[in-house]
A and B are shown apart, each in its own frame.
Chain A
């Protein structure tokens, strides 16, 4: 048992190292992944931002950045799903299965590698945010808490990606699913407040984990846009909501992924 755990860890690390090797040999993909959020900062901050009023007043780019942080956090589902499905459809997963390695190391390795990518993306986003005038206002502890929440939710979401990648198992199908990511993240409070949406749209937007993470980050950074009045539970208690979402996703998708991979 202990021996198994040790190998799960060692093999998982080897797979994280694999991701590092891939990034080194194919930096283009990483650059593309990093440019996307930077473009979003410009596009939303200056194009849409020029016409959007922040509820309760305040700078739109200050309002926007927590939403973009949440959006980047959610890109983990797509990234991990794509990498997992590519491994499955190209036979790399079969080779892993035929090796005397710890089987559970594969999903752990995939999610661990994604954390690495996620941290890099966060660093770039923080840089872009600082450039356009975004600032955290509530001190280092609250700021660190906000980033910690992003990392925790990202790791939980990576397991959703592993499961979806294994379940679909086909690179092309997964590629076709990637564009769905944008509407999913936009159906939230990341770019505009949910208060103005029609009721049937507002309900899923309020309960979207993107909204919870955005609201939590706004609160912890001291950025404008805190909802007022009668708001849905996840927006009134965003930190608890993010932690609950993370726990729920991990509880469901980690065992599902491990079982699907062992099959």
Chain B
């Protein structure tokens, strides 16, 4: 495995009585997308702020692109891009004006700052809107401008803090396409998100964060495999739901959850055969409309892992 380009070890950070991070460890391979998942308040944003040098950890340390985020913050800043939950651009300037300003503040010479602004606007399809004030942009356009503002210096590592929160599906798709393109160009992306399908589609690796710590890491497939397959059963008659649940409890060793008036879902331990399930249900007199064995979604992995008490 190549050297990780982002490494965090034992990060701790408290705000008053609230412990946002309680010893967070994270490692991101170069040239990959790492999705950091977690419920609200899990510490995702705090972790990103520390890695992007906006905030200093109380304990632990982190290196980005080979530089310590506290002692060599300047070196880190020259190699990262940050796009946040809020579109951090000046609404009273035009899109082009924003990019030029951020280019100048990144210490590009004037001509280079202007050239880079034009290039990025063109590449991400904002040329038509470039000379309009950002205040008149749609949510998706703003977010795209925010994203490209973080690309001015061709960052080695890009931190995206919930880049598609609040966007419509089409704008989300556009942001995803942009992220894929950047990774194809060799960038490394650390992405926090509440949307599990976003991580599923974009991330090579996923780290699930809860209560300020990483509670699971792996590829989306590994994480899904770890919690076992899921069995979905739809019954003909909703009145059969009770007997069906009893059968499934006996088979899976866990209570199924009702997903509709006539449907049940349960996690199965490995090595189950669908035929056996159908036979057992038939023996109990349950008329089955549909039985399906499937991989769990990342949502289910997430809920399963974050439900458990803090270890």
B99 to chain A, nearest CB (A): 12
Cβ B54 vs Cβ A99 within 8 A: no
B side interface size, CB within 8 A: 32
By Cβ-Cβ distance, the 6 closest A-B pairs, closest first, are A91-B88, A91-B86, A22-B92, A95-B88, A98-B82, A100-B78
Q: Mark A17-31, 1 if CB is under 8 A from B, else 0.
A: 110011001100100
A31 to chain B, nearest CB (A): 14
Task: Kindly state the separation between the CA atoms of A97 and B104 in the bound complex, as whole angstroms.
Answer: 14
* Most A CB within 10 A of own CB, among B52, B54, B86, B105: B105
CB contacts (< 8 Å) of B53 on chain A: these are 97-98
Q: Mark A99-121, 1 if CB is under 8 A from B, else 0.
A: 11100010000000000000000
CB contacts (< 8 Å) of B102 on chain A: these are 95, 99
Q: Which residue of B lies closest to A92 (CB)?
A: B88
Cβ A100 vs Cβ B74 within 8 A: yes
Decide if the interface of chain B is mainly helix, strand, loop or mixed.
loop
Q: Mark A60-100, 1 if CB is under 8 A from B, else 0.
A: 00000000000000000000000000000011101111111
Asked whether any CB of chain A lies closer than 8 Å to the CB of B163, the reply is no
Asked whether any CB of chain B lies closer than 8 Å to the CB of A206, the reply is no
CB contacts (< 8 Å) of A22 on chain B: these are 90, 92-93
Name B75-125 residues within 8 Å CB distance of A.
Answer: 77-78, 80-82, 84-94, 97, 101-102, 104-107
5 additional contacts, CB 8 Å, given A22-B92, A25-B93?
Answer: A14-B101, A90-B87, A91-B85, A92-B90, A100-B107
CB contacts (< 8 Å) of B104 on chain A: these are 11, 14
A side interface size, CB within 8 A: 23
Q: Mark B254-290, 1 if CB is under 8 A from A, else 0.
A: 0000000000000000000000000000000000000
A39 to chain B, nearest CB (A): 24
Cβ A18 vs Cβ B77 within 8 A: no
Cβ A97 vs Cβ B92 within 8 A: no
CB contacts (< 8 Å) of A18 on chain B: these are 90, 93, 97, 101
Contact of A25 among B86, B88, B92 (CB under 8 A): B92
- Known pairs A25-B93, A95-B82; A90 contacts B106 (CB<8 A): no
Asked whether any CB of chain B lies closer than 8 Å to the CB of A7, the reply is yes
Contact of A92 among B77, B78, B89 (CB under 8 A): B89
Task: Tell me the A residues contacting B by CB distance below 8 Å.
Answer: 7, 11, 14-15, 17-18, 21-22, 25-26, 29, 90-92, 94-101, 105
CB contacts (< 8 Å) of A101 on chain B: these are 105-107
- Known pairs A11-B105, A90-B88, A101-B105; A95 contacts B93 (CB<8 A): no
CB contacts (< 8 Å) of A26 on chain B: these are 92, 133
CB contacts (< 8 Å) of A100 on chain B: these are 74, 77-78, 106-107, 153
Cβ A14 vs Cβ B105 within 8 A: yes
Q: Which residue of A lies closest to B105 (CB)?
A: A101
Q: Which residue of B lies closest to A29 (CB)?
A: B92
Cβ B101 vs Cβ A95 within 8 A: no
Cβ A97 vs Cβ B97 within 8 A: no
B144 to chain A, nearest CB (A): 15
- Known pairs A11-B105, A91-B88, A94-B84; A99 contacts B93 (CB<8 A): no
Asked whether any CB of chain A lies closer than 8 Å to the CB of B47, the reply is no
CB contacts (< 8 Å) of B149 on chain A: these are 95
* Most A CB within 10 A of own CB, among B93, B94, B150: B93
Name B29-81 residues within 8 Å CB distance of A.
Answer: 49, 52-54, 74, 77-78, 80-81
Task: Kindly state the separation between the CA atoms of A95 and B89 in the bound complex, as whole angstroms.
Answer: 8
A-B contact pairs, 24 of them (CB 8 A): A11-B104, A11-B105, A14-B101, A14-B104, A21-B94, A22-B92, A22-B93, A25-B92, A25-B93, A25-B97, A90-B86, A91-B85, A91-B87, A94-B54, A94-B82, A95-B149, A98-B53, A98-B81, A98-B82, A99-B102, A100-B74, A100-B77, A100-B106, A101-B106
